Structure 1
């Protein structure tokens, strides 16, 4: 198993929204990563936030906000810095 897959398994093991934020921060691509890599990261992050919304019910709505935000960012084809590189 690659380090990258192990890191995503760490996200799946989280029990709180805070833990998901921390784990996703460690997986975040570099600011110079290409748009495709950022899009994949954002879509996978959105799934993680949707999942944690059902696990950490006290932060349900906040987690759904983050999921929606990540999906919007993915659909805009932006990099981590927000600049359009398509």
Structure 2
């Protein structure tokens, strides 16, 4: 369990602020959304190792972002198979 780097969020509040700040614009392509959700999952995971008071809530957000990433990845695959 490695703590986040100095510039990475250390708390739930900081992780939420980062996720909000880097949210893609509406209409962004699916690859952009996939990267967004994957990065959020990593951010919440790292913060959960430090912010023990919000550990369980952060773990919820890790799972949420991982599910969203899987949904977007499935949509990308679906679009690729339909284009073939």
* TM-score (norm: length of structure 1): 0.74
- Give a deviation string over 1:33-80, Cα, whole Å, max 9, x none: 0111000110011010011001100000100100100010011018xx
Unaligned segments of structure 1, at least 5 residues:
1-8, 79-83
> After superposition, where does 1:1-86 map in structure 2 within 5 Å?
10=7, 12=8, 14-77=9-72, 86=79
Q: Which of the pair has more CA radius of gyration? A: 2
Q: Distance in 2 between matches of 1:50 and 1:26?
A: 18
Q: What RMSD, in angstroms, separates the aligned Cα atoms of the two structures? A: 1.9
Query: Alignment length, in residue pairs?
Result: 71
Q: Distance in 2 between matches of 1:45 and 1:56?
A: 16
Over 2 Å off, 4+ runs? none
Unaligned segments of structure 2, at least 5 residues:
1-5, 80-84
